[in-house]
Amino acid sequence: MTISTQTDVVVKRNKMPFRRWFSEIGIRHVVGVLAVIYAGFPILYVVSTSLIPGATLTGSNKLFSAFSTANYSALSSTSFWTWMGNTLQVGIITSVTTVLMGAAAAYAFSRFRFSGRRVGLVSLLIIQMFPQILAFVAIFLLLMSLGYVWPPLGLNSKWALICVYLGGALGSNTFLMYGFFNTIPKEIDEAAKIDGASHAQIYWTIILRLVAPILAVVGLLSFIGTFNDFVIAKVVLQSEENWTLAVGMYQWVSSEMEQNWGQFAAGAVIGSIPILLLFLFLQKYIVGGLTAGAVKG
């Protein structure tokens, strides 16, 4: 028997039957392809609509039936780029501040033992159980009252909107980081203390570098949440020059007689680029950041 014949016999013996292969491996590929199609079709539909002049939701059923950049060119005659700048400003400041505040709180709850620690953790958890919509009226009245005393923190202020976002995200982000901080061995802190490092030095130079994955995840989720938010921004911001992207673009399709879905789709495509770039930049941290804090090591 030649070597090639022996190889063919070994391959035939090791070949998995199709039914077994499909039940163990093939079905995963089928589900994966269906998931990609299911998630990708809305994106293709929006991109196609943005390239059709005068497109409507009911008249754009044929994907890429036309190709024109008229909807994108029309954005320059609107306040789109002002809204984009406002959204990026609010999103970046909120995400960075959320990471700093949440990390500091999570480090304190994880490393220190103080009176009221357990009560504080439970209180944060209970507060997050209530839906945020319950606070809309209170937020509106509070900001309206603050505006009489200090206008920068009143209604129609981007800084007031940032403060509202920070208050709503602190509890959940603290808990998310708290689980991750617990996976960092305390022996690292003790070794640094023996070398003469202070709590501040340990926190800024050692701990924050070790928990970089969860910081990236929290920053990404915070940025996406504030970037896409509509309801709170609509309540707080009232003038066109202060609107965020979601609030401003809503005006293009809110009027029943003057809906401009092509321009709306073009703005949505451009507005998705910052989130896409940030997601690609931080993708190596996402899986580790979301799962490492689930079990204490």
Residues 102 and 204 in one domain: yes
Residues 84 and 38 in one domain: no
Residues 131 and 155 in one domain: yes
Q: In this structure, what token pair is assigned to residue 240? A: 């066109």
Q: How many domains does the chain have?
A: 2
Residues 248 and 282 in one domain: yes
Pick from 52, 71, 90: which residue ends a domain? 71
Pick from 71, 101, 125: which residue ends a domain? 71
CA of residue 62 relative to chain centroid, distance: 31
pLDDT in tens, 160-190: 999 999 887 777 788 888 888 888 888 888 8
pLDDT in tens, 108-124: 888 888 888 888 888 88
pLDDT-derived band at 268, boundaries 50, 70, 90: very high
Residues 57 and 164 in one domain: no
Helix (H) or strand (E) holding 237: none
Name the pTM for this structure. Answer: 0.83
Return the CATH number at 248.
1.10.3720.10
Pick from 18, 39, 71: which residue ends a domain? 71
Please state, in angstroms and as integers, the Cα–Cα distance from residue 258 to each residue in 168, 244, 255, following that order: 35, 21, 5
Residues 51 and 123 in one domain: no
Residues 60 and 92 in one domain: no
**170 is in which domain, residue-wise?**
78-294
Residues 129 and 161 in one domain: yes
Can you tell me the distance from the alpha carbon of 97 to that of 114, in angstroms, rounded to the nearest whole number?
A: 25
